[in-house]
């Protein structure tokens, strides 16, 4: 079962408390300073800062731009 929209609306980055966007099998923080991505395993978001990956600026911008277009 994919992440429900209601859950996505309340999930935030545990480090920055910024909103997250769904990008395939990961949740990406909207915080440009950290650019953290949290993986999703078996439909369960792994919201551990120590296990998050940092996206490079170009990849993070691509994700944010794609999300913005999807919301438009």
Q: CATH number, domain at 46?
A: 2.20.25.10
Model pLDDT, residue 27: 97
Does the model's pTM come out above 0.75? yes
Per-residue pLDDT tens, the chain, 72 aa: give them: 578 889 889 999 999 999 999 999 999 999 999 999 999 999 899 999 999 999 999 999 999 999 887 654
C-alpha span between 61 and 72 (Å, rounded): 17
Q: Domain limits at 57? A: 5-71
How many domains is the chain partitioned into structurally?
A: 1
Contacts of 64 (CB under 8 A, 6+ apart): 21, 28, 30
Model pLDDT, residue 71: 59
Written as six digits, the tokens of 33 are: 């300073």
Model pLDDT, residue 1: 59
**Selection from 27, 7, 29 nearest residue 19 by Cα:** 29
36 HSE (CA, 13 A, CB side) = 20
């Amino acid at each position: 079962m994919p992440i429900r929209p209601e859950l996505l609306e309340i999930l935030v980055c545990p480090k920055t408390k910024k909103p997250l966007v769904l990008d395939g099998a990961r949740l990406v923080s909207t915080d440009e300073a950290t650019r953290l991505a949290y993986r999703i395993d078996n439909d369960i978001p792994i919201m551990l800062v120590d296990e998050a990956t940092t996206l490079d600026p170009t990849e993070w911008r691509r994700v944010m731009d794609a999300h913005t277009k999807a919301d438009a």
